[in-house]
Every structure is written in C-alpha cells, then in structure tokens.
Structure 1
C-alpha cells in the first residue's frame, strides 16, 4: 500500500500519475471523492491491478457523520486490512491512497470540523503505519518519508 499526502492543490494527483506512468497503462482503477465517488466497500470487484483511492479525508468526513470517533477509526482500519488482503492476493496488486493534509493552519472553532481534522489525523497515522511507502507532496515536490 502506498499513501500519498500533502497540501490541497499541491500536485498529488499529477505526481501519482507520473510515478506510476498512468498515461501509458490502462490497467488501473481510479476512484475520487473529489468527483463525488463513494469509497469502495470491497476491492475484490476491481479487475485492475492498480487501485487508486483519492480524497481520503472526504471519505473519513462521511464516516464521521454516520459513526462516532472510535467506530470511524475502527472502520477505517478494517478497510486498510481489506486493501492489504487484496494486495496480497496478487503480487502485482497495488493500492494507492491519496489524502489531503488538513492538520495545518488555524484550529477550527467549530467542534465538528475539529473532530473531522482530529479523526483524519489519526486515520492517516494508521494508514502510514500499514503502508509500505509514504510520500509527502508540497508544491509539486515529493519527499519520501517511509
């Protein structure tokens, strides 16, 4: 599993497309929360070997609306385990998670936005722990941190 994070509009999508040479391959499946797509419940339905899930922070926000903090984090961890299992089914299977870092800047006054920010940070920590690789993208420049 590969986790890519960084600031909003800092080039995460373009960097992933370039790293994985996506313009030249057709065996990938891209799901974007930014385009209103729902998070896949089960990757088994994917016929591609490269699964890219973009907009992690928005899916976590949706999860918080349906669950409490602990249930959201547990649910996220179950999804991470599902994706790891899918990757382990075939050595060519790869999951790339792209999420915007929402932890910087002024702490929001609204409790619901602060909760979203906190839970997203915890879920990102869990994601980084389980990921084989983690990259930060700021201003189009990447820094590999794991």
Structure 2
C-alpha cells in the first residue's frame, strides 16, 4: 500500500493520477465500513481510496474510539492482503489537518485526533508514504 498525505489542495490527487494512470478511484462512503472498499478491487488494477476525512467525520457520533480504530486497522490489513493477492496496488489519499490552529469545537478536535490515528495506522501498513506540499512529492517512508 502507498499513502499520499498533504494539506487541502496540495496536489495529492494530481500526484497519484500521474503515477497510476489506469487506477480505479473509490471514495469512502460515510456511514459505511472501510471494508466496503474491497468491492472496488480489480486484479492487476491500482485502487485509489479517497474521502478519508469525510468518512471519519461521519464517525464523530461514536464514543467507542478504541473499537472504531481496531475495526479500521483490521479492515485495512484485510484490504492490503486482498489487494496483494490480486496484484492490485492500493493507494490511500489522506488530508493532513494537524498543522494549524487547534479548533475550539470539541468535535473538530476529535476529528483531527481520529484523522491522526488513521494516518498513523495507514503509515504502519504502507510500504511507501509520500508527503505532498505545493505539488512537490517527498518520500517519507
């Protein structure tokens, strides 16, 4: 798996589109499990997953952060394994939201926490991590 992370409008989508010309793109559905992404896997075809921040935003109502995190960790590991079996490169695009003013609203702070944990878990699973800023792509793992 590869993870592309950077701020809003940093050039993540363009960087991925340039590298994976014939990829299928899958937007996470709010309120649906991460495991639904497996439906979009096609043998020998890269799969790009987007919409992480919005997907996490739908989980703000849940109080069981540990269970939520364990579920996406498990789903991500299964997705990576299935993608490998199908020789389908897996790419996740995530938005960096931890470099700014800390919001006053508790739900916005929690969203940043969830996003940070998700990105940490994705980084653990990823073979390569790319940080994108101003259209420049830097390999960080």
Q: Into which bin does the TM-score normalised by the smaller protein fall?
A: 0.7 to 0.9
Partner of 2:76: 80
Distance apart, 1:41 and its partner CA: 1.3
Q: Give the TM-score of the pair, scaled to structure 1.
A: 0.84
Distance apart, 1:121 and its partner CA: 0.3
Mapped to 1, the partners of 2:12 and 2:41 lie a distance apart of: 23
The answer to whether 1:114 aligns with 2:109 is yes
Q: Which structure 1 residue ranges, 4+ long, deviate > 3 Å from structure 2? A: none
In structure 2, relative to structure 1, the CA distance for the partners of 1:60 and 1:88 (3 Å cut) is same
Count of aligned pairs: 139
Superposition CA RMSD, Å: 2.2
Q: Give the TM-score of the pair, scaled to structure 2.
A: 0.87
Structure 2: unaligned runs, 5 residues or longer: none
